[in-house]
Structure 1
């Protein structure tokens, strides 16, 4: 069999495989959304729309839609700080605002994330992008860290000085803060007073840090609020 025929066979196999997979949309309750209603559903969710794209046990690709782009709550800062210090083996100042970028297992965001294995090369590529962002955040007194859900394999050395890619080994942050799986991850900003803002979906840490300005933060936490707990508090 010559190379041309091999290429044709491979192409046909790949085409058939892709076409055999279905993309199924489901709503917040887990019910299937008919194809004719998908656009309408997305429109109704507006700017608050989120999605979680994953492969089901049946081999089909699912997209779960939600309306939780932003969440807020009051958390125990000391507990959060203690848990992070245990994971990162570093000391965090009591006055530092913490920003966490969280990566979910089974995320189909990119080729890097979809197999739940981050090679050394993939980690370095991501860090090259984050490096100037991390430097900017540090200059503003922000402690920044990337956490990966347990089950994601990181090909790095967590004990290495200045490392900031870590596994959420006990699942503490997944169970208490990042409750909603989101395609391309989520962010959380935790202030020393416990005020916590969560943004689900693809974003950048420096853009997210802009939410910390008094003008933007007040849109979520108004001075008149009595800090009612709107999220599960660890």
Structure 2
């Protein structure tokens, strides 16, 4: 499922100027080209904040072979659950997917938590972030059980178009500047690659999705089709 931040602001925006300056002094900036993966097998647990672009995050819990997949953008925290859960219980994969700039701010988890402990705003944000993750998981579970794969795909495309899309002059066609594969999209809606490809091709035949190197979404047709799936 796609994850869209519902907190209204990023962690850095809620911190006072001095606190923001201090926590930024502890981080490392990582810039990546589209398709490049982040090295997550570091010596210790790392917390990331998306500075620019977009990333796809895969989380494998325990021996689970099927990952939980999120598309994330500016302001989103990644792997912050490593502040609460031992990293030995799961593994993650991060890949840059925006066709332009992709950058992350990275902190060792211990340094990140120590810095936030000195600021009430930071701790409150972290609590809100944790609560949002729980709510998002509940929504994803509900959608998987209550809605069809078509509904989930349409909802995913609408979310991506609203957050990342470039609109044409008439505002009806949106280009998604994201390097996403059929496998990525399929995992986001919890279906096999074959099923995801079939669903995507059906949307193409309906004119909801246009042909091309990158995904083009016809918003008016997407809205019309979404109404039939309610």
- Structure 1 length as normaliser, TM-score? 0.26
Pick the structure with greater CA Rg: 1
- Structure 2 length as normaliser, TM-score? 0.27
